Structure 1
């Protein structure tokens, strides 16, 4: 029996559209067991208990790649990462399936090869890279190659995820983006990316309220999220270091000093007055990335 634990991820971090993501302390755990024949998938939601399951599809694609076959498979999914909320649930399933298949085949793949397979399935590396490696990761596609690099983050940050009781598909979030952007908006984002990375690395967290600003996707996607601007104002009024739309949304991520223990309580009182229910989760940066366990 093989278990794979994969962290949640928050991609498109601030101005880092399609290029920067971070792994966070919220997890999905996937258990893989060989059985004589057939496919059994056990999860929290019966909609996913079939052969269209992304974990299973990712596993099969990986096995085809390495030339390994099994008689049958049982996959058990324990999920903490909410689906279609901008926290990398799809990336977690893909990485879980690829790693599970690699372990069943006696680990022929390197981590870079695993990343390449996962990126081919996902379409882009900004979620799967931090899900695999952990920490803050910048990644690009250069032809057929995936280039990535981990960025050190100074200690003292907490990520507060504001998760609404509504979903937003990536395809819908993509559909509202413009085909072209203004030159000044490109310059705006490039300069903010540089400021964000330097502030995170050096611990100059007071600069994050500027460094996390974005003009490439957040102004367009925010219109799909009820009370988005009000939530951003609430975070600022309660001394958030900075806020950004997590992934394609609808989760909003607020950063705070990890010694500000009352931040969540202040936020929750304000969020209770909004039309949707918002759940708050206090998260840390996950530095391990995906972890594999063998045996019971």
Structure 2
């Protein structure tokens, strides 16, 4: 018997104007504790009590971690071995815009890579993550860590249709190599992330459904200008709040999604000077979590954002309850740790 642990950081994406481009790995983790037994007992997966019972399937063909692992394994003509006991300890809230599905996908490819002895580099694992997720921003940040910019290559527009389970007959040679390009950028050590997480879920599919199919040239140029400045401004040792705040403005997705999150318009309207240390605010991914960039007064800023949520009434006339986490950027990405003594 031996043991190892797979540790995958959560992620946020977009950071204002970087829609489907920017991702950021955060020190909030999904951890899979793997025990490899010497007998042929069936492989199982279970969750600690941090994950509500019934919220995640324990069927290996339905659970996102294990079915991703099986997808990768089967493309190499193998499968997950018997004798695996998987215990998932997940600190990442589900469906809140912190990359919970992306972390599960990354955990799945890491699991297959180790359990099946594939020894694939992260660059190749990212191809499989994109096959499952469809876009690289969150999975790249969780797999590689840090502040990541990415794009899909043209070959990604003609990826083979993905199938789960026994219908998955795809071979690894049919999955294009280097379906995306990713680059890690500098993130200022002075900037922390404050996430304010409303106590309701927002499906990414719904958040995407409200976006238009076409945009004006002026709106596209507006975002291009700002994302170019933002990627450099966030790496400065002494960040400029005014520059970063303006560079976090967006006309591609947040305007259209604001009606899905009560209180979001008021939060996005906040400017430097609102509180000492406040730099800017944006949706985290597709929401409903709000991401705040700050250099000081982290807890106090988070509390003020909570008050805005609570003072905004939902369709039932109730305030929006939420909780706060102050997070550092995690630069290392997904790791496998040998737990044998």
Range into which the TM-score falls when normalised by the shorter chain: over 0.9
Specify the alignment match of 1:204 in structure 2. Answer: 239
Specify the alignment match of 1:263 in structure 2. Answer: 301
Specify the alignment match of 1:42 in structure 2. Answer: 46
1:1-296 matches, cutoff 5 A:
1-34=3-36, 36-43=40-47, 44-47=51-54, 48=56, 49-51=58-60, 52-69=62-79, 70-142=81-153, 143-144=155-156, 145-202=179-236, 203-206=238-241, 207-233=243-269, 237-239=274-276, 240-258=278-296, 262-274=300-312, 275-296=319-340
**Unaligned stretches of 5+ in structure 1?**
none
Residue 219 of structure 1 aligns to a residue in which SS? helix
- Give the direction of change, closer, same or farther, for the CA distance of 1:7–1:258 in structure 2 (3 Å limit): farther
Instruction: Tell whether the 8 Å contact from 1:2 to 1:100 is kept in structure 2 after alignment.
Output: no
Q: 1:223: how far off?
A: 1.1
Instruction: Give the whole-Å Cα distance in 1 for the aligned partners of 2:328 and 2:283.
Output: 17
Residue 23 of structure 2 aligns to a residue in which SS? strand
**Unaligned stretches of 5+ in structure 2?**
157-178, 313-318
Equivalenced residue count is 296
Residue 320 of structure 2 aligns to a residue in which SS? coil
- Structure 1 stretches of 4+ with a deviation exceeding 6 A read none
Instruction: String of CA shifts for 1:245-266, please: whole Å, max 9, x gaps.
Output: 1111111101100466643344
Instruction: Determine which structure has more spread, i.e. the larger CA radius of gyration.
Output: 2
Residue 201 of structure 1 aligns to a residue in which SS? coil
Q: 1:272: how far off?
A: 4.4
Instruction: Give the whole-Å Cα distance in 2 for the aligned partners of 1:105 and 1:235.
Output: 51
Specify the alignment match of 2:167 in structure 1. Answer: none
Residue 213 of structure 2 aligns to a residue in which SS? coil
- Give the direction of change, closer, same or farther, for the CA distance of 1:205–1:26 in structure 2 (3 Å limit): farther
